[in-house]
A and B are shown apart, each in its own frame.
Chain A
Amino acid sequence: MFDYDARPVTSQVVLVGNRATTLGYELRDFLSRNGVSYDWVEVDDADRVGQLLGSGTPALHRLPICVLPDGSQLAGATVEQVATGLGMVSPPLLSEYDIVIVGAGPAGLAAAVYAASEGLRTVAIEAVAPGGQAGTTSMIENYLGFPQGISGGELATRATAQARRFGAEVLLARRLVDIEGKNDGYVVRLSDGTTIPTRTVLAASGVHWRRLEVDGVDGLLGAGVYYGAGPSEAVSCRGCRVAIIGGGNSAGQAAVRFSRYASQVTLLIRGESLGASMSQYLISNVSGLDNVDVLTGTEVVGLEADSRLRAVVLSTSGQPSLTRLPLESLFICIGGVPRTGGLASTGVATDDAGYILTGAALGALETWGLERSPLPLEASRPGFFAAGDVRSGSIKRCSAAIGEGSMAVALVHRRLAELGVEP
């Protein structure tokens, strides 16, 4: 299928800006992960900028400028403003819910499908795009039932359509601000001021990529440095040199994807081999690619940049001197830290790394207040559940998160029965 056979035919969003900026990257990432077609125009393309904006070079502080399909312009556009301008931001339809799901990754979407299909009043909230970290994966080849593999984005699209078909609402482009316990339930508050009363909460907010502890990395975000597989950037890496930090499946899948576009891909791992952290099928795929190198025992200790990244400085175990690797883009796919922003206000117990403790792992609780013990996926507050990567002790795998999401709904039923409000 040719590109123009698939491209939406209605007016696209046009973004005018400097590609190598954090905000520009956030907008591209948001639009591409939500399937919104856009056209990126570099601010120094005077002809196109003049045609679009009818004026000279816009002031830097007004960038990026978003031209919406109706012709209106947003200067200094943020993700939330663009989402609102595109009609992607809708209020919750009901005054109260049986379950609010925080995060629409695999665990959250599975919970949304099962909860809504069983008649629970269900809403999921998602700050960026359905699919979570799995949604950025180019091809999951060992997911049950898809012998040719399925991309994370497509899996998320199908799951979102399925959840909506059963009546679940999915609210996009707003962050969770806090959750307040009220009576026997909770009130969830979002970044746009929306409040959602609910009887139960499921935290399925997943993990962030672990930050790279190297000087200058934050200033280069979007300017050659990206966290995750950067699906919106793959095409622009055509013919470029790319490095990926990480030895897990996400890094392996990113290496396979970028090998299709980049001239050279270098996978940088701290360990001595990929075998400890990557599935065998991905190791085989990666080792069969001529333009992918794997550097083991290697860490990034420095970055070289002007207005954007130009090279990384590497330290390799057993070698006294540092080496320099020139490249255009660096993708960081290492580990993860729990996404619990906004959840902390509830005071749910976490382990030392910040993952939410549930069930027997909670041990004895002083402030629990019920005769029964916490249910298996229940956190330290009655009716507050956790599933998927954000839960302490969970298996960090897409299918395991989906299992936990569906299991959590069965436990939500038990909590609703306990409250005497089971629908």
Chain B
Amino acid sequence: MATDKQLEATASALESNGIDSLVVDSGAAARDAVRTMLPIGTEVFNNTSRTLEAIGVAEDIERSGLYQPLRPRLYQMDREMQGREMRQLGAAPDYVVGSVHAVTEDGSLLIASASGSQLGPLVSGAGHVILVIGGQKVVPDVPTGLRRISDYCYPLEDRRAREAYGVPSGVNNVLIINRVVTPNRLHAILVGEPLGF
């Protein structure tokens, strides 16, 4: 778990890489921050994330009625007939809210995905991205972050996927964000407590 000083230094490094950053004490404060950042009525895709589920952000997005959540809309669609519409809708939401698997002290973000569907919107498809990151995910550098994904996150995610969906997970795609060139597009909320895995 990163110290307060490490969190502040990481936030500062992210800022210098074009990623707006905020440090908060708790999951509850992170939830409030997400509420403040999401415009009422906006179209939002919440990535599958233990962090978002744990702090109530997934609930806020899918069930509060304040936003247009994309997951229930996609769920309603016919996978056989509307695959193209589903890809289009999932690829370019107004807002994506998610998490990462590691953040480096020099300001890079690492996200792994089995299907890869959530990576495109994070890089460029979504209009805005909000990432909520538990303080235990701070690592010194990218190689350590990659090891964290393969040695720590993957076994836990694999177990979750088998239980939830009946399919294995895999470190099939890894996104490393070193710098963001569009101002005010990507927002990181670093939380002073462990969240997710």
Contact = CB atoms under 8 A, between A and B. Distances in A.
A153 B72 CA distance: 12
B46 A9 contact: yes
A257 B7 CA distance: 52
Given A1-B90, A9-B53, A10-B59, A151 B81 contact: yes
B72 A1 contact: no
B80 A260 contact: yes
Contacts of A234: 78, 80
Contacts of B165: 3-4
B164 interface: yes
Contacts of A165: 41
B53 A10 contact: yes
B158 interface: no
Contacts of A231: 78
B76 interface: yes
B173 to A, nearest CB: 13
Interface stretch (B21-29, B60-68, B126-134): B60-68
B80 A257 contact: yes
Contacts of A148: 84-85
Interface stretch (A33-41, A244-252, A291-299, A304-312): A33-41
A9 to B, nearest CB: 5
A8 interface: yes
A33 B78 CA distance: 11
A338 B75 CA distance: 31
B70 to A, nearest CB: 8
Nearest to B75: A37
Interface string B20-55: 000000000000000000000100001011001100
B2 interface: no
Q: Which of A9, A32, A139, A256 has the most CB of B within 10 A?
A: A9
Contact of A157 (B73, B78, B164): B73
Given A9-B48, A154-B85, A260-B80, A4 B74 contact: no
B82 interface: yes
Given A10-B59, A87-B65, A138 B78 contact: yes
A7 interface: yes
A35 B78 CA distance: 11
B77 interface: yes
Q: Give chain B's interface secondary structure class.
A: helix
Interface residues of A, number: 35
B104 to A, nearest CB: 27
A138 B81 contact: yes
Contact of B73 (A3, A10, A35, A150): A35
A164 B65 CA distance: 12
B167 interface: yes
B115 interface: yes
Q: Which of B59, B69, B80 has the most CB of A within 10 A?
A: B80
Nearest to A3: B79
B87 A7 contact: no
Interface string B132-170: 000000000000000000000000000001001101000
Contact of A151 (B72, B85, B164): B85
B87 A1 contact: yes
A60 B85 CA distance: 41
A1 B83 contact: yes
A161 B44 CA distance: 13
Given A1-B90, A1-B117, A8 B72 contact: yes
B123 interface: no
Interface in A52-73: 69
A109 B119 CA distance: 35
Nearest to B49: A9
A328 to B, nearest CB: 18
Interface in A124-178: 138-139, 148, 150-151, 153-154, 157, 161, 164-165
22 contacts: A1-B117, A4-B161, A4-B165, A5-B74, A5-B118, A6-B75, A6-B86, A7-B75, A9-B48, A9-B62, A10-B58, A33-B76, A35-B73, A35-B75, A35-B76, A36-B72, A138-B78, A153-B76, A165-B41, A234-B78, A256-B81, A257-B80
The 10 closest A-B pairs by CB, nearest first: A6-B74, A260-B80, A35-B76, A35-B72, A8-B71, A4-B165, A5-B117, A138-B81, A10-B62, A1-B86
